[in-house]
Amino acid sequence: MPLPFPPFKPCPCGSGRSYGACCGPRHSGERPAETPEALMRSRYTAYALHDTDYVRRTWHPDTCPPDLKLEEDEARYTGLTVHRAEGNEVTFTATLRADGRTHRLHERSTFTLLGDKWVYVDGVEPGEKR
């Protein structure tokens, strides 16, 4: 079950907008992500809120892991920095706390249009070849 999040609070994705004006409408299905960066930000926020359903809905069915259960994840997501968004790729660093330690996920993510909606395909370390 996703964590409840007030729509007037700053969005966890770091956009500077409120959750209700940023990722909230994407999570509710009211407004799809218009760009790969918008989708990546909304997915980060879904991870922070332990929203497995949204992460699954926005993951390409060919690459989505069958055992994804964010509600069992005890990590606390503490920050997102987008380094580059170009074409269908977004390079970012996500910071989280788990097991009493700070971790950083640095990734170059690839997205594709599936029908008329952007979906996440996969991610690699920046500089790595696919």
Q: Is the dihedral of CA 12, 15, 20, 25 positive or negative?
A: negative
Q: Within the chain, how many helices (H) and strands (E) appear?
A: 3, 4
Split into its structural domains, the chain has a count of 1
Q: Show the tokens assigned to 48.
A: 């922070």
Locate all alpha helices (DSSP H) within 9-129, ordered by sequence.
Answer: 24-28, 36-48, 52-57
- Assess if residue 107 is contained within a domain: yes
pLDDT in tens, 42-97: 999 999 999 999 999 999 999 999 999 888 888 999 999 999 999 999 999 999 99
- Assess if residue 103 is contained within a domain: yes
For tokens 């790595």, name the residue.
Answer: 128
CATH of the domain at 72: 3.10.450.50
The angle formed by the CA atoms of residues 124, 128 and 130, to the nearest 5 degrees, is 70
Query: For residue 63, what are the domain limits?
Result: 19-124
pLDDT tier, 31 (very low <50, low <70, confident <90, very high otherwise): very high
- Assess if residue 47 is contained within a domain: yes
